[in-house]
Amino acid sequence: MLNVKGLSFKYKERPVLENIDLDIKKGEIIGILGPNGCGKTTLLKLLNRDLRPESGVVSIDGDDLKDITKRAIAQQIAVVPQSNEIRFAFSVRDIVAMGRMPFLERFQVESSEDMRIVDEAMEKTNITEFADRPINTMSGGERQRVIIARAIAQRPEIILLDEPTLHLDVCHQFEALDLVRQLSKDEQLTVVIVSHDLPMVVKYCDRIVLIHDHKVFALGTPEEVLTPENMRIVFNIEAVMEYDPTLKANSVKILGSTTMRKRAGDGGRSGDHAP
């Protein structure tokens, strides 16, 4: 459904991504995982044509994104960005209704069907009670739910989420991602999540793309990708994947950084010293 072939990108002369190949399937939840600065967000922007690649192709249903208008892309792909700061005092309902803009002609107002979709999106994200509240009076977590509702109101085939739980408290993290997973299951929504949160990715993602040294380092199920060796190389941590009987599923257990564990193995000494 969403295909990446030979994708490379540079910021000025600094390589960020090199020769990325990726096929994203309809209805799956796929996580883009890697350390800070590895190019995760850049890849997400390339998938939405917010950036243009140095080389390679991103296509949706066989059509190269460079040949598709931004409006047509927005009718198929919705984005939940990392930053949810909104400077103007739009109401929550107004913000969510912006998800219908790709389907409206210039100066056209929302129809009753558009507003039904908006109300449904607010209900799904538990923000109906805030409908008339100015967005700039809300907490970061509340704003994030509004942005997710806006994306849902867009009725996309694909939703791209950049660190979607960054501003949410623990309860709302699970609520937001449980909702996204349910939409993926019920409506065959394809979901791409950028994250550095290993346990979250394992819980919610069908497959993981692990980015390291500008390239796809590993691709597969969480169990295939998040091996102790891969986590040691990419994240500099000692961690294991193990079955959690409470969750009745596999989970990542992080034991510590490789540096600290090496120091502990040395008795806390970084080297030998003369008495």
Domain spanning 1-76+157-223 has what CATH number?
3.40.50.300
**pLDDT for 275 beyond 70:** no
* Two tokens, residue 170: 């623990």
The DSSP element (H or E) to which 223 belongs, if any, is: helix 222-225
Residue with tokens 């044509």: 49
The DSSP element (H or E) to which 79 belongs, if any, is: strand 77-80
Specify the 3-state DSSP secondary structure of 9.
strand
Domain boundaries, the chain: 1-76+157-223, 88-155
Specify the 3-state DSSP secondary structure of 260.
helix
* Two tokens, residue 8: 């490379």
pLDDT > 70: what percent of the chain?
Answer: 93
Q: Which residues of 142-175 are buried (b: 16+ CB within 10 A; e: fewer)?
A: bbbbbbbbbbbbbbbbbbbbbbbbbbbeeebbeb
Contact 136, 85 (CB under 8 A): no
Note the pLDDT tens digit of each residue in 77-122: 999 988 767 777 899 999 999 999 999 988 889 999 999 999 999 9
Alpha-carbon torsion 205, 206, 212, 216, what sign? negative
**pLDDT for 272 beyond 70:** no
Give the integer Cα–Cα distance in Å for 237 and 219: 19
Using pLDDT thresholds of 50, 70 and 90, give the confidence band for residue 270.
very low
Q: Which DSSP letter does residue 254 get? A: E
**pLDDT for 141 beyond 80:** no
User: pTM higher than 0.85, yes or no?
Assistant: yes
- Report the DSSP beta bridge partners of residue 211: 216
The pair phi, psi for residue 110, each rounded to 5°, is: -65, 140
Residue with tokens 């806390």: 268
Note the pLDDT tens digit of each residue in 166-216: 777 787 788 888 888 888 888 889 999 998 888 889 999 999 999 999 999
- Report the DSSP beta bridge partners of residue 59: 3, 64
**pLDDT for 267 beyond 80:** no
